[in-house]
Structure 1
Amino acid sequence: MEYQRWIVMLSTYLTEFTSLGLLFAVPVLFVNFLETYRESRAKTATVTSILLGVMGCSGIINGLLVQSIGPRKAGFLAGLLMSGGWMLCFFSSSILYIDLLMAVPTGIGCSIITISTSRTLCQHFKGKPCLIALAVQTTASGTGRIVYTYILTACLESFGLQGLFLIMGALLLNCAILPIIWQTNRVSQQETSPISEETQKALDVKICCTRYGPIFTNKTFLTFLFGIAFLYVPHSGFLIVFTDIMKSREYTEENIRLAYVIHSISNVCGRLSFGFLKQIPRVGFLSLAFLFACMSAVSFATIHLAKEFWTTAFACSFMGFEMGVTVAAISIGVLKIVGPENLPFGMGLILSVIGIGNVVVGPIFGVIRDVTGTYSLSLWISTLSAGVSATLFLMAMIMKHRMN
């Protein structure tokens, strides 16, 4: 029935709100990790870096997992994995334990959730409503990040870091319950003739090669993939060390939190706006991605040159908006290039490439800060990376135009 798909959409939204919202709010804990475990910035940055990196690197495997067992079962397993990881961190005594017990399971779980929710929405919405649904869905993690910013702060003040791990683990347990109502909107097809296990395996391999092989030879998709990676990874690096950048400028704790919330709010607006901008006739997703990649390059340069708090906050708002657009461009771009049937695998491939970059970007930013005493070089590298991304989007736009 019609109302059922809106219930499903609400459950997918709440699942991403709970899981990805927490993941993207973890940078708020960066300074607390520094003070609690007394490690270097480079080593402390591995927590968020591994979170984002594992989320991406496991994407291609999780895409096949979702394709094989379905979004509902995959989402249930992801919820249990994330909840258990956070609760086990109660016993952690070093950053290494945080990396292994929290970052790795949560990264894998959030990757599964991201792919499962997108796949579920594409099964219930078609055409333009599907683009709007995906755009609205991408705002869940951004909205969650805003809320979690205050929840994490309150939990730290009342229960400390160890108590926070238990509370967040309990909240993440909801992610194992919500996927129960993720029904597919298609009539399951019954087998009309018996097929042997060996024949079925051969058919699966043949179907896999036929379906996924063209994705690796699709030049437009591959160019789009690396364009997203060069744009998303520096944003992730900035987010990982956000609180340390603000603290190095001697801003107060309230100002740092305010700047983070401003970045988060504009991030949500960016995610939501991409789907609606795509509804404008003759406005392609690649042209929008190119425009906002150029704006990202300007924003990274601005955040470096800004000295006063409100100038910094203004630059953060632009940067958050562009990061939100980038997140929305992933699911919508993959849907438009490879189609809804290949969406889990296509998104998994993009997340894997992004994940490789995310694994190293946090520690690199930390090492640069430890060696040079400033984040200036990191921000200039990010500016260059955004410029490369804009060039790749332009190339993809030209290739797509020639194919049409």
Structure 2
Amino acid sequence: MPPAPATNPGYTPPDGGWGWVVVFGAFVSIGFSYAFPKALTIYFKEIQEYFSVSYSDIAWVSSIMLAAMYAGGPVSSILVNHYGSRPVVMAGGIMCGVAMVTASFGNTITHLYICVGVVGGFGLSFNLQPSLTIIGKYFLVKRPVANGLAMAGSPVVLFTLAPLNQFLFDNFGWRGSFFILGALLLNCCVAGALMRPIGRNPCPKVQANGASDLPRSNNGSVPQSVDRGYGQKPGTETRRVRNIDKFIDFSLFRHQGFLIYLVGNVLMFFGFFAPIVFLAPYAKHQGVDEYSAAFLLSILAVVDMIARPSTGLLANTKWIRPRIQYLFSFAVTYNGICNLLCPLATGYGGLVVYSLFVGVAFGMVCALLFECLMDLVGSQRFSSAVGFVTIIECCPVLLGPPVGGVLVDIFGSYMYMHLMCGGAMFASGLFLFVMNFWNYRLADRMARRQEGAAEQGEMKQLSAAEPEGIGGTSPDCAPCSESTANAAVL
């Protein structure tokens, strides 16, 4: 099952300039997408009492919102491929705003499921997917740093929304708060307006002496997402890219690295969101006052916002980037260990320590989540890949928090919820470690074979050109052999 080759983007990503403005827009859009479902948990206890529902019933609000955000991935990917990121993000901002305003008039929990969960979740999907995709259009060498900065929007927005939601609830109640939050979400339209389409400059060409003006990473090597596209006929490649971008690239399911990533993430997401969703209710369950419980989310968010760009910088180093999948595997395993040990945290001090450690773990996973996917499939196929990933992951995202709520209802304790989530993430991390080790070994073996075959082919060409056995290498052959070897690495 050979991996699918990455495609040549056909232009040189600027790795800066207006790209940093785009990163800011993605910072805002991604921030609302990921932080908003978690920030709404501040209202859960009061809404639960208002509608007289159980823990598991109220957990469905955030769960449906997250699941709809993930389920909308393929639709969002198709729209991005056809219309670009800017109009899709702006449409998503309008959907989210309307969803929260209409939810403020709800009289049943089902009304919240539909407005906040379904409509709001799809709106967040239209914010998330295009923001992730356009970063890969503007950045290549500095892409891990750009992704880390953009993903830092989630903890920054969460840090702001956690105390703001408590203030809004105290002064306006949950209905008035939802109305104000709907207006606040319209800022995603402004963020989308910043995501102007990139001007496609001509693709760099290999020079006659074998040198290249391709963008290079810190260690001087051409990143895999570019060099794997060379050595192919421009006309054929352009037609294939257009056919792929027209809808969605189903050949990704023959990509072994993509399949490993997908299986590991499905298992991980069973336990990824529930501990965060129930952090404030867990603290209130232990007798912590409301503002102190909300402050735990702020602590987690502060650590998270530091961890994400720091992880991006670490991932961009010449030692980590060639094996970035290992760092992601470690982050998932570390997150699982934190949740397994959470029941040992007693009192408010213990919860603060837990928030500090899980903030680092959560930030590392989020900073690497989509960067690792882009590292596997390349920027041109990323839109299709993220659409497939999110639609498949919506099932564990949907079931995780409600199953945790059911465990809380049955046992009257949050311990079993944390054990379930920690166990799922720990198992996912071990799976990713083992399978990525195998995948890297297989890729290295294939690369050595392709290099050997390229060297043998070059020697045959030299023998034919120099029948008398005169030594030396023709400069004209160097780019060709280099491109052939690079195009077959993965």
TM-score (norm 2): 0.75
Distance, in Å, in 2 between the alignment partners of 1:107 and 1:211 is: 22
State the Cα distance separating 1:372 from its structure 2 match: 1.2
Match of 1:356 among 387, 392, 395: 395
- Greater C-alpha radius of gyration: 2
State the Cα distance separating 1:360 from its structure 2 match: 1.2
2:431: which partner in 1?
392
Match of 2:143 among 127, 130, 138: 130
State the Cα distance separating 1:72 from its structure 2 match: 0.9
Distance, in Å, in 2 between the alignment partners of 1:325 and 1:349 is: 22
Between Structure 1 and Structure 2, the one with more helix by share is: 1
Distance, in Å, in 2 between the alignment partners of 1:206 and 1:295 is: 41
Q: List alignment gaps of at least 5 residues for structure 2.
A: 1-13, 203-238, 445-490
Matched, 1:221 2:223: no
Percent identical residues = 18
What letter is aligned with 1:44?
I
Distance, in Å, in 2 between the alignment partners of 1:188 and 1:105 is: 38
What letter is aligned with 1:123?
K
Matched, 1:319 2:358: yes
2:189: which partner in 1?
176
Match of 2:164 among 151, 158, 162: 151
**SS at the partner of 2:379?**
coil
The structure-2 alpha-carbon separation of the partners of 1:66 and 1:188, relative to structure 1 and needing over 3 Å to count, comes to farther
The structure-2 alpha-carbon separation of the partners of 1:69 and 1:209, relative to structure 1 and needing over 3 Å to count, comes to closer
Assess if the C-alpha contact under 8 Å between 2:33 and 2:128 holds in 1: no
Q: Deviations over 1:29-66 (max 9, x none)?
A: 22122122221111111001111111112212222221
Q: How does 1:24-173 map to 2 (within 5 A)?
A: 24-127=38-141, 129-173=142-186
**SS at the partner of 1:282?**
coil
**SS at the partner of 1:277?**
helix
Assess if the C-alpha contact under 8 Å between 1:121 and 1:130 holds in 2: yes
Distance, in Å, in 2 between the alignment partners of 1:265 and 1:229 is: 27
Q: How does 1:255-274 map to 2 (within 5 A)?
A: 255-274=292-311
Distance, in Å, in 2 between the alignment partners of 1:211 and 1:13 is: 26
Distance, in Å, in 1 between the alignment partners of 2:374 and 2:129 is: 12
Distance, in Å, in 1 between the alignment partners of 2:190 and 2:294 is: 31
The structure-2 alpha-carbon separation of the partners of 1:378 and 1:23, relative to structure 1 and needing over 3 Å to count, comes to closer
What letter is aligned with 1:148?
L
State the Cα distance separating 1:206 from its structure 2 match: 5.1
Q: After the TM superposition, which of the residue ranges 363-372 and 29-38 deviates more from structure 2?
A: 29-38
2:223: which partner in 1?
none
Q: Deviations over 1:299-353 (max 9, x none)?
A: 1121112213212221222112212211122210111000001111212222223
Match of 1:8 among 19, 22, 29: 22
Q: After the TM superposition, which of the residue ranges 249-258 and 147-156 deviates more from structure 2?
A: 249-258
Q: How does 1:257-296 map to 2 (within 5 A)?
A: 257-283=294-320, 284-296=323-335
What letter is aligned with 1:183?
R
1:401: which partner in 2?
441
What letter is aligned with 1:133?
A
Matched, 1:240 2:277: yes
The structure-2 alpha-carbon separation of the partners of 1:211 and 1:54, relative to structure 1 and needing over 3 Å to count, comes to closer
Distance, in Å, in 2 between the alignment partners of 1:16 and 1:160 is: 27
Q: How does 1:320-359 map to 2 (within 5 A)?
A: 320-359=359-398
State the Cα distance separating 1:3 from its structure 2 match: 4.1
1:199: which partner in 2?
none
Assess if the C-alpha contact under 8 Å between 1:24 and 1:141 holds in 2: no
Assess if the C-alpha contact under 8 Å between 2:275 and 2:339 holds in 1: no
**SS at the partner of 2:281?**
helix
Q: After the TM superposition, which of the residue ranges 226-235 and 133-142 deviates more from structure 2?
A: 226-235
State the Cα distance separating 1:254 from its structure 2 match: 3.1
The structure-2 alpha-carbon separation of the partners of 1:209 and 1:67, relative to structure 1 and needing over 3 Å to count, comes to closer
How many residue pairs end up in the alignment?
391
The structure-2 alpha-carbon separation of the partners of 1:172 and 1:70, relative to structure 1 and needing over 3 Å to count, comes to same
